[in-house]
Structure 1
């Protein structure tokens, strides 16, 4: 791949491809474009993917943007907004779950004390289900409740 601006759509797509095929050499654009079509039902051509990856096109819109977002599990804003952080992307991804949305919406308006109690219950459930083994190795609790 040619050198591209690190914040560009080309760099983002290439990084996502490298991440998706981290344990092996990524396939060519034709295979990736077919995988996108097969997994999302949305069309993206090999040539268009090549143009995006090399920076010759930099503003996917409509179905192509949706196809990329669905395939890589990112919100469409990931490709368009340089200010979208990993935390923003994780939140957007989590909010695709109806259960997560319901918890967030129903906790809105509760006192800080009640919200902390709910967070404690969620943290305990995650511990029981061993969802945060890497986080447990982190010395500081990000909630500030060390």
Structure 2
């Protein structure tokens, strides 16, 4: 699993074996390359990152290092390494975070508030804590947010963006290609929610253990019909009889 604890290993490996370069990057050379591209970093800080003495770089630092090393920024969080030309995200971090707030939430509850998300992340504690006010700053495009790695991991995990190994897919914030694929899935989720299927499924979970095979078959047929027809006004008798 690649997360903030292995950021050092990823960076060190990329410095030792940089794509498209015959020899390794020293810390001084990499700092110079970052600064030549308009970034701002010191060789001392790169040394701390490579040794794991610092493990929570900002989004801007990750993007600057990726540009200098010739990789996709998502490489640092377990995503793809190959770079698609100009890897500057076409959507800002705040735009992507706002999209998650709008698209992902429990059907019986409605959209999360910054307080909800801050409380959940801070209670879990895996990636430290975060305040509701800071989340509001991250959501505000006018603040030009520059979140740190652990907050990106925590937010991805909270909204259920996880890979096959269960690790948070913070690459959603760093990779346009992956973000487009996830956004397409979220669009499908919205269609199901608008048709009442998501709410229906949540109710099914509460009752299905007591259902007979015939009633389960009827539930599947009802869901399939609603999805295929696009009908938004449909009813399945969750408390009904299968006789």
TM-score, L = length of structure 2: 0.31
Question: Scaled by the length of structure 1, what TM-score is found?
Answer: 0.47
Larger Cα Rg: Structure 1 or Structure 2? 2
